[in-house]
Amino acid sequence: MGKLYGAFDLHSSNNYLGISDEEDRRVYKRRLPNRPDVILAALEPYRQELVGIVVESTVNWYWLVDLLMGNGYPVHLANPCGIQKYRGLKHIDDQHDAFW
């Protein structure tokens, strides 16, 4: 399958997980509850190919980063202030945020 890249758009009770390949093709996209068992089950089929997972460093990021790192996933924190805002994009929602 090649290298895959994941990202979470995290909220207080749910998240949006996006996984894409090296050509930016969307391999997985789904809103999930903030339940460790559900999140780990969603990631498991992609475990070997995931080379990085980005989590936005919002107020509640720590539990998700701890969960992912504790299960061997390569995690990167993204500073929301450092991410360039959307320019010219028609849609701004959780799905687009995760893939952005």
Number of domains making up the chain: 1
Q: How far is CA 97 from the centre of its chain?
A: 9
Half-sphere exposure of 30 (CA within 13 A, CB side): 10
Give the domain extent around 89: 4-99
pLDDT in tens, the chain (100 residues): 799 999 999 999 999 999 999 999 999 999 999 999 999 999 999 999 999 999 988 888 999 999 999 999 999 998 777 666 545 555 556 655 665 5
Task: Please state, in angstroms and rounded to a whole number, the distance separating the CA atoms of residues 68 and 24.
Answer: 22
Say which residues have a Cβ less than 8 Å from residue 79's Cβ, sequence separation at least 6.
57
What's 62's domain CATH number?
3.30.420.40
Task: Please state, in angstroms and rounded to a whole number, the distance separating the CA atoms of residues 7 and 20.
Answer: 9
Q: For residue 87, report the phi and psi dihedrals to the nearest 5 degrees.
A: -125, 115
CA dihedral in degrees (60, 65, 66, 72; nearest 10)? 160
